[in-house]
Amino acid sequence: MKKALLVVSFGTSYKETREKTLDVIERELSEAAEGYDFKKAFTSYMIMKKLKNRDGIHIDNAKEAMEKLVAEGYEEVIVQPTHILNGDEYEKMNRLMEPFIDSFKSVKVGKPMLTTSEDYDLTVEAIMDEVGALAEDEALVLMGHGTGHFSDSAYAALDYRFKARGYKNVFVGTVEGFPEIDDLMPLVKEYNPKTIKLLPFMIVAGDHATNDMASDEEDSWKTIFLNEGFQVEIILRGLGEFAGIRDIFKQHMLELVSEN
């Protein structure tokens, strides 16, 4: 029986961070899924279009990937997303795949990064393992994407989880959701650190991390914190570079493999 592992990501047009994050996740998932042929897809049409027009690289969307799997005679498919939330992109992926479910003997879909309560604890551990111990006069600020989807609540929940695990100087915010930087600033000031460490809470360190977080633009988080009198240290690494984060996706996928 032909079996395939389809890894679905939002995607990125930044080659350097893609090689350090998505490529590594895909390779590790493929190596762990013994007996499954590796396939990939993105969910961001904007990124797929940019890669096609700029670099001549075609990446399938979820619908195209499923069409090819049907045409190539696969009978069993495991789908593992690399999305952080059970949000818009994850739901879009499932909608695109739905018409093809009955074309296979088995289709199993894995969970995004922040799904179970344990996922939150593992995420806290994975991030702090990479960042290392924070000094009393330091604070770590994570910049997530944010969403209008109800899954936006995951960011505040993660912030709470950091505090519950004893990391009083870790703060989670978003660019396009809640909490925004204006919501975080009073809390950061109340803690009163000397140095802010900025880290993107995104699988890849792409456009938002490079421009909205780390640039010298007047509305970047770096500039905003500098203007408030803090020293700022940039950690320009996507979460996909963190072994503990990759392990969460791997565990979610292996749960599907073990069901067979």
- CA-nearest of 89, 101, 91, 63 to 9 is 89
User: Beta strands of the chain (E only): which ranges?
Assistant: 3-9, 37-42, 76-81, 106-109, 138-144, 170-174, 195-200, 231-234
The CA–CA distances, whole Å, from 218 to 212, 223, 238 equal 10, 6, 23
For strands 231-234 and 195-200, give the pairing. Answer: parallel
CA–CA gap between residue 170 and residue 168 (Å, rounded): 6
Catalytic residues: 145
Per-residue DSSP letters for 46-81? HHHHHIIIII------HHHHHHHHHHTT--EEEEEE
Distance (Å, rounded) from C-alpha 206 to C-alpha 210? 6
CA separation for the pair 40, 5 (Å, rounded): 8
- Evaluated on CA atoms 171, 151, 175, 215, the torsion sign reads positive
Tokens of 21: 């994050």
- Match 């806290």 to its residue by tokens: 124
Cα 64 to Cα 231: distance, rounded to the nearest angstrom? 47
